[in-house]
Amino acid sequence: MKKYRIENFTKGWFIGDFEPSLIKTKYFEIAIKIYKKGDKEDAHLHKIADEFTIITQGSCKMYDQVFKSGDIVWIEKGDVTSFEALEDCTTTVIKIPSVMGDKYIV
């Protein structure tokens, strides 16, 4: 058994083709992202990867829509979205495949 803390990984990303990583793989990335109310991420897109964002706690705004705990948002490559935490919010994010540098600020 091994134990880790999510805050010891870069922006919550803990599996993927980067360091630090629990498992280094080019096939996918996984992150647990923890936001405080009002936290934002700039509009961006991925040219190669699809991203699945699961709202596990709280609510947020993406695509000018409100999403809440239990919602799953499939962000297809080429889609442009931003992020705003409407309350304290936790997300689980999966990107397929894991590609370094595949985030383009719009």
pLDDT of residue 89: 98
Counted domains in the chain: 1
Whether residue 6 lies inside any domain: the answer is no
pLDDT of residue 21: 97
Whether residue 4 lies inside any domain: the answer is no
For the chain, residues with pLDDT lower than 50 are none
pLDDT of residue 44: 97
pLDDT of residue 47: 98
pLDDT of residue 26: 98
Whether residue 16 lies inside any domain: the answer is no
Whether residue 2 lies inside any domain: the answer is no
Whether residue 35 lies inside any domain: the answer is yes
Query: Strand order in 50-57's β-sheet?
Result: 13-15, 29-35, 89-96, 50-57, 72-75
Interval 82-102: pLDDT, tens: 999 999 999 999 999 999 999
Whether residue 75 lies inside any domain: the answer is yes
CATH at 34: 2.60.120.10
Let me know how many helices (H) and strands (E) the chain has, helices first. 0, 10
Indicate whether this model's pTM tops 0.85.
yes
pLDDT of residue 31: 98
Question: 66-75: long-range contacts (C-beta < 8 A, 24 or more apart)?
Answer: 74/50, 75/46, 75/50, 75/51
Domain hosting residue 92, numbered range: 27-105
Whether residue 91 lies inside any domain: the answer is yes
How far apart (Å, rounded) are the C-alpha atoms in residues 98 and 16?
6
pLDDT of residue 106: 94
Pairing of strands 50-57, 72-75: antiparallel
